[in-house]
């Protein structure tokens, strides 16, 4: 704020000098006003940037989970109509390397059965066992987050720009001065399957 006060004083002096000088020096009184305005805006900008001091710290809290999608999982036996092992999810080696694993599965859509696969090495994938009577499914979810801006020091009227001072001077240290809620961009894929319904295979030709 001190810089702003000084700039205001300098601006007033320049305005008084320029506006009372012979117009031939600057072309016209209008040019003098323009110069004064530019000086004031520049000084105010310097004040704002100089006082861009961190008076707070950010704390991010997870407040809940938002489900982005949920699809019913289908048993491979039902889809392929074979007597293969009972499974809702198949883990298999992809390509020539057994180190690269994928999960394959079928989901029920409005158009019929849809085959999908996902790599647990490239995405966040989790497996949970269903409770009795619970529908086998695959869900993608994200975290609901709340970011709180907590005041860590009181602004000093002589060392702070006027905008920051007006924003924070009424708060005490430890107060939450601003809150922002949003959804994380990081998605998780979670398979809910019955126990013992994960089938692990190698050298499987999955099209």
DSSP-derived letter for residue 101 is E
Nearest-angstrom CA–CA distance, 123 and 158: 51
Is the model more confident about 143 or about 7?
143
- pLDDT tens string 11-50: 566 556 655 555 454 455 555 566 656 655 555 555 444 4
Domain ranges of the chain: 1-50, 54-207
pTM: predicted TM-score of the whole model, two decimal places: 0.62
Beta-carbon-side half-sphere exposure of residue 64 (alpha carbons within 13 Å): 5
- pLDDT tens string 92-108: 765 555 556 788 899 98
Q: Is-contact 92 53, C-beta < 8 A?
A: no
């Amino acid at each position: 704020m001190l810089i702003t006060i000084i700039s205001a004083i300098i601006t007033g002096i320049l305005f008084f000098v320029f506006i009372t000088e012979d117009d031939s020096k600057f072309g016209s009184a209008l040019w003098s006003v323009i110069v004064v305005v530019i000086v004031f805006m520049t000084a105010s900008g310097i004040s704002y940037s100089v006082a861009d001091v961190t008076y707070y710290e950010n704390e991010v809290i997870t407040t809940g989970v938002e489900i982005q999608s949920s699809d019913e999982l289908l048993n491979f036996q039902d889809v392929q109509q074979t007597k293969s092992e009972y499974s809702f999810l198949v883990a298999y080696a992809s390509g020539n390397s057994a180190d690269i694993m994928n999960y394959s599965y079928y989901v029920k859509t409005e158009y019929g059965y849809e085959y999908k696969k996902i790599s647990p090495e490239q995405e966040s994938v989790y497996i949970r066992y269903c409770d009795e009577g619970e529908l086998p499914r695959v869900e993608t979810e994200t975290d609901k987050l709340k970011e709180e801006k907590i005041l860590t020091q009181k602004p000093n009227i002589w060392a702070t720009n006027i905008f920051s001072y007006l924003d924070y001077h009424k708060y005490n240290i430890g107060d939450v001065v601003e809150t922002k809620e949003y959804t994380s961009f990081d998605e998780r894929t979670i398979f809910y399957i019955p126990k013992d319904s994960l089938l692990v295979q190698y050298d499987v030709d999955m099209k």
